């Protein structure tokens, strides 16, 4: 590396070495510059540490450079790397410009990663509007088929099937090979909700032929199409196949199956479908309690709704079901108490 004589002239005799967090030791400003230019992602964090700033100022006599770094404590680590090189008169201006461009691309990618990760976390929490906001912001920085599909899933869960269908179509157009079967199955779901069942059925047939999608996934979607067309018995048959096949849709298929069976007044079978669900949430437990209540199995019904309330204590649907079960069991005081709690929960929710 070409030496910077102006910098070297400032170096005190016997200056101590500095060991960077990445394990590399610098004995001079030139060595520190070399480490920062080649490993700025790793070394940038050291440039905010008081130990490094004191080494630069007291050890190497570069007080002005040390003060500039100290004043930039709120700056990101990569940007501090560029500041350090500028403050220490690094000789290669072109290299500094390259590093600045690399830093800009790195920070853009880091922001994208952060938005996507936060969107994923919000989606799993059930905050579908928040997830959609994060995915949209990430897409404004960089488009990927995965992000369009994620945004579509958030819109679908949030109740906007029209926008969801557009997002799934965008994902498929941007990269036809990315999660091909999964994206197109999501599009089938959106089209079904929109009542575009002919399109959904044709696309599902293509998926079965071209993508080799999981049989439980396609059975679930066929059930959804049949249910949308008012063919409850056929829908129940497809949902039953999806439940038997296991997989990611098993819980949703079991919930749909129970609703079809409940509508057909087969309350016992509806309860059996929900009982077979892995890790049923509060909503499904309330539905299970309702099925058992209609099947006149009041003690198991009460047990199911009590478990639902342990998961979601202020859930109005669970509180109302608890009141109805108490009424059926002739426990009037319990009925009045839970009915009052249900009303209070509704007031709090819509206040």
Structure tokens, 127: 């905050």
* pLDDT at position 6: 38
Are 79 and 101 in contact by the 8 Å Cβ rule? The answer is no
* pLDDT at position 278: 66
Q: From 3, 11, 13, select the one nearest 57 (Cα to Cα).
A: 11
270: part of which helix (H) or strand (E)?
A: helix 267-275
Structure tokens, 294: 């209609």
Domains of the chain with bracketed CATH: 5-91 (no CATH), 297-351 (1.25.40)
Are 131 and 119 in contact by the 8 Å Cβ rule? The answer is yes
The position carrying tokens 């928040």 is 130
Q: How far apart are CA 9 and CA 25, in angstroms?
A: 21
The position carrying tokens 């290299």 is 95
Structure tokens, 60: 């190497």
Q: Which residues contact 157 (CB under 8 A, 6 or more apart)?
A: 123, 128
* pLDDT at position 15: 66
* pLDDT at position 318: 94
Q: From 38, 30, 32, select the one nearest 51 (Cα to Cα).
A: 32
* pLDDT at position 119: 94
Are 323 and 305 in contact by the 8 Å Cβ rule? The answer is no
**φ, ψ at 331 (rounded to 5°):** -105, 80
Q: From 65, 94, 74, 79, select the one nearest 36 (Cα to Cα).
A: 79
For the chain, 351 residues long, the average pLDDT of each consecutive 10-residue run is 40 72 88 85 83 90 89 80 83 76 78 92 92 93 92 94 95 81 89 92 87 82 90 91 84 89 92 80 90 94 94 93 95 94 89 71
Structure tokens, 119: 């969107």
Q: How far apart are CA 309 and CA 315, in angstroms?
A: 7
* pLDDT at position 42: 78
pTM, rounded to two decimals? 0.59
* pLDDT at position 14: 56
């Amino acid at each position: 590396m070409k030496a910077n004589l102006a910098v070297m002239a400032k170096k005190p005799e016997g200056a101590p070495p500095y060991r960077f967090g990445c394990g590399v030791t610098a004995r001079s400003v030139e060595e520190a510059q070399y480490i920062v230019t080649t490993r700025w992602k790793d070394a940038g964090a050291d440039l905010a540490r008081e130990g490094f700033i004191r080494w630069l100022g007291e050890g190497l006599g570069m007080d002005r450079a040390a003060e500039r770094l100290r004043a930039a404590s709120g700056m990101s680590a990569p940007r501090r790397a560029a500041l350090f090189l500028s403050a220490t008169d690094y000789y290669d201006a072109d290299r500094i410009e390259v590093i600045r461009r690399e830093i800009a691309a790195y920070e853009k990618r880091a922001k994208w990663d952060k938005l996507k990760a936060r969107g994923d976390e919000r989606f799993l929490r059930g905050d579908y509007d928040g997830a959609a906001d994060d995915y949209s912001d990430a897409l404004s920085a960089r488009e990927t088929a995965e992000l369009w599909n994620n945004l579509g899933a958030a819109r679908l869960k949030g109740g906007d099937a029209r926008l969801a269908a557009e997002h799934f179509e965008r994902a498929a157009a941007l990269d036809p090979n990315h999660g091909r079967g999964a994206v197109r199955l999501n599009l089938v779901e959106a089209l079904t909700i929109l009542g575009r069942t002919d399109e959904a059925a044709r696309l599902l047939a293509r998926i079965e032929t071209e993508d080799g999608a999981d049989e439980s996934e396609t059975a679930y979607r066929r059930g959804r199409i049949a249910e949308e067309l008012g063919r409850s018995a056929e829908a129940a048959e497809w949902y039953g196949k999806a439940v038997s096949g296991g997989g990611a849709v098993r819980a949703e298929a079991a919930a749909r199956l129970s609703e079809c069976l409940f509508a057909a007044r087969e309350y016992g079978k509806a309860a059996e479908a929900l009982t077979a669900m892995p890790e049923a949430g509060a909503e499904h437990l309330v539905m299970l309690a309702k099925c058992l209540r209609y099947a006149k199995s009041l003690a198991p019904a009460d047990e199911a709704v009590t478990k639902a309330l342990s998961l979601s204590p202020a859930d109005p649907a669970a509180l109302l079901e608890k009141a109805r079960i108490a009424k059926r069991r002739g426990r009037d005081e319990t009925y009045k108490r839970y009915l009052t709690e249900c009303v209070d929960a509704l007031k709090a929710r819509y206040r």
